[in-house]
């Protein structure tokens, strides 16, 4: 068994060619590019038991070699994946079921009849790979770079494979993100944690690709730094999965959710006060603001304009063909992995970062609720939009961490605040102004809001 640590980056054919000649890869390329044709057959039961257990089983033909591979459930966060991989060389292209036992076979599949495993789909592609190595401080880094071009095929359906895979052979995971971010400065690289196997299953069954990621495990005892990091990773990973799926099928709701995940990330990083000094979040905030400035108005316009919704997929493809999205994603991953927000903060900031969420969060929400001054906007609803950033800071914590608060009716408050935020985003009309007044009253009168005002 070996542990596979890699990052997948979706690219265009033009970018794939540019990577082959990229000066940074040329400088660090210790082996030259080796070209191989890989034929891969994936297996599962008719009920797709392996897919449900997050297991991938394949036979790969690599020249004269036949390799049986089992990849088990791992962690994949914001494009950087870590999972266990088992490989066996076989004499012929036929599954050896006897190998699928012992420590490699997941316990949840212990009762599975392995004789029901059948071919499901193929992923056939040409891979050009090279060993990329350099010194990083006092340590050596070795990464296998693979340029893959081919197709996933399910019956008569197929989807192109065009990607860069960077797999860590020696060194720290941060080196993967460092190399990818340097390449993304001039080239459009889209971090994407959908594997070739997941693409095959998605073609086989369009509903099989899960957009939802497991919710972060946060409790009242979780230190603020840990809760913040977990939520940021979750939102970044969600935004990448939404971007991939919207690119694939163009469903309007996915674009709305993508923008919402970016807005939540923006609100989250501005909510920590001295625990995340402004200079430490400056570049991230600038990048997020640029994305939201372009896409928020489009999503708002698309709510009532079908022509905007129809044109959006093509505009989104143009976004993905620009380096901006990939560079933002990779830079944010590096920022999170290095805990950059905590690097230069003062003693008070360190104390806040170490504080338990159950004691820090009520104080934050109390301060934000009092500063919002909802009674004012019952009289001046035309100015409510200026408070949208504050409302969103409250919303993001209520969305993901309200369970740690010992305050009644938090679910109701979260719902009422969502309505208020939607109205704050709408263009001003007499009807909208009246609705803002009524909704400000509705929020103010909830038991949860009144308790926050007293904190």
pLDDT in tens, 58-74: 999 998 899 999 988 66
Could you say which DSSP state residue 29 is in?
A: B
Say yes or no to pLDDT of 75 above 70: no
Let me know: does 341 contact 276? Beta carbons within 8 Å.
Answer: yes
| 377 compared with 255, residue with greater pLDDT | 255
| 5 compared with 332, residue with greater pLDDT | 332
Of 422, 381, 397, give the one whose Cα is nearest residue 296.
422
pLDDT at 198: 86
Q: Where does 1-210 sit in CATH, by number?
A: 2.40.320.10
Q: What is the dihedral of CA 423, 426, 427, 432, to 10 degrees?
A: -30
Q: What is the pLDDT of the chain when averaged over all its residues? A: 93
- The proportion of the chain whose per-residue pLDDT surpasses 90, expressed as a percent, equals 83
d(CA 125, CA 2): 23
pLDDT at 129: 95
Q: Lowest-confidence range among 188-197, 306-315, 318-327, 407-416?
A: 188-197
The reported pTM is 0.90
pLDDT at 433: 94
* Domain boundaries defined on the chain: 1-210, 356-453
pLDDT at 103: 81
Q: How far is CA 147 from CA 33, 42, 77, 96, 271, in A?
A: 9, 21, 22, 29, 40
| CB atoms closer than 10 angstroms to residue 142 | 16
pLDDT at 207: 77
Tell me the Ramachandran region of residue 168: left when phi exceeds 0, alpha when psi lies from -120 to 50, beta otherwise.
beta
Give residue 79's pLDDT band: very low, low, confident or very high (50, 70, 90).
low
Q: How far apart are the first and last CA of the chain?
A: 53
pLDDT in tens, 241-263: 999 999 999 999 999 999 999 99
pLDDT in tens, 89-147: 999 999 999 999 888 898 899 899 999 999 999 999 999 999 999 999 889 999 999 99
pLDDT at 212: 77
| 379 compared with 211, residue with greater pLDDT | 379
pLDDT at 454: 92
pLDDT at 157: 92
Burial label for 47, CB within 10 Å (0-12, 13-18, 19+), is exposed
pLDDT in tens, 182-217: 999 999 999 987 888 888 999 888 777 777 788 899
pLDDT at 211: 75
Q: Lowest-confidence range among 174-183, 207-216, 219-228, 308-317?
A: 207-216
> Which of 121-133 are b and which e, b meaning 16 or more Cβ less than 10 Å from the residue's Cβ?
bbbbbebbbbebb
Of 78, 444, 33, give the one whose Cα is nearest residue 242.
78
């Amino acid at each position: 068994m070996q542990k596979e640590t890699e990052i997948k980056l979706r690219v265009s054919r033009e970018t794939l060619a540019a990577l082959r000649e990229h000066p940074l890869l040329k400088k660090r390329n210790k082996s030259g590019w080796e070209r191989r044709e890989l034929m891969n057959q994936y297996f599962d039961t008719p009920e797709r038991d392996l897919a449900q257990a997050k297991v991938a089983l394949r036979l790969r033909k690599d020249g004269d070699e036949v390799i049986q591979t089992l990849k088990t459930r791992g962690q994949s966060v914001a494009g950087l994946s870590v999972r266990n991989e088992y490989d066996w060389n076989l004499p012929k292209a036929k599954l050896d079921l006897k190998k699928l036992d012992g420590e490699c076979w997941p316990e949840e599949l212990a009762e599975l009849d392995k004789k029901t495993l059948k071919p499901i789909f193929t992923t056939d592609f040409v891979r050009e790979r090279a060993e990329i190595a350099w010194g990083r401080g006092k340590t050596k880094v070795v990464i296998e770079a693979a340029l893959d071009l081919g197709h996933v095929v399910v019956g008569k359906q197929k989807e192109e494979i065009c990607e860069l895979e960077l797999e860590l052979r020696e060194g720290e995971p941060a080196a993967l993100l460092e190399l990818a971010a340097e390449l993304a400065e001039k080239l459009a690289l889209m971090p994407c944690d959908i594997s070739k196997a997941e693409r095959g299953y998605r073609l086989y069954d369009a509903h099989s690709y899960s957009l939802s990621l497991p919710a972060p495990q946060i409790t009242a005892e979780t230190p603020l730094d840990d809760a913040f990091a977990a939520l940021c990773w979750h939102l970044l990973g969600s935004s990448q999965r939404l971007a991939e799926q919207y690119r694939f099928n163009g469903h309007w709701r996915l674009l709305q959710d993508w923008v919402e995940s970016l807005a939540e990330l923006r609100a989250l990083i501005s909510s920590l006060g001295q625990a995340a000094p402004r200079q430490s979040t400056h570049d991230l905030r600038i990048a997020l603001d640029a994305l939201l400035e372009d896409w928020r108005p489009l999503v708002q316009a698309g709510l009532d304009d079908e022509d905007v919704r129809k044109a959006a997929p093509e505009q989104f493809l143009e976004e993905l063909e620009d380096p901006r999205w990939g560079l933002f994603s990779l830079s944010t991953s590096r920022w999170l992995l290095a805990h950059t927000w905590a690097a230069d903060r003062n003693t008070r900031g360190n104390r806040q970062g170490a504080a338990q969420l159950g004691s820090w969060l009520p104080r934050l929400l109390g301060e934000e609720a009092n500063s919002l001054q909802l009674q004012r906007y019952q009289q001046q609803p035309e100015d409510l939009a200026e408070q949208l950033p504050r409302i969103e800071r409250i919303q993001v914590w209520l969305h993901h961490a309200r369970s740690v608060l010992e305050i009644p009716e938090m679910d109701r408050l979260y719902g009422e605040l969502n309505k208020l935020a939607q109205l704050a985003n709408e263009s001003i009309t007499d009807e909208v102004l009246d609705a803002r007044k009524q909704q400000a009253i509705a929020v103010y009168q909830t038991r949860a809001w009144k308790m926050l005002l007293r904190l």
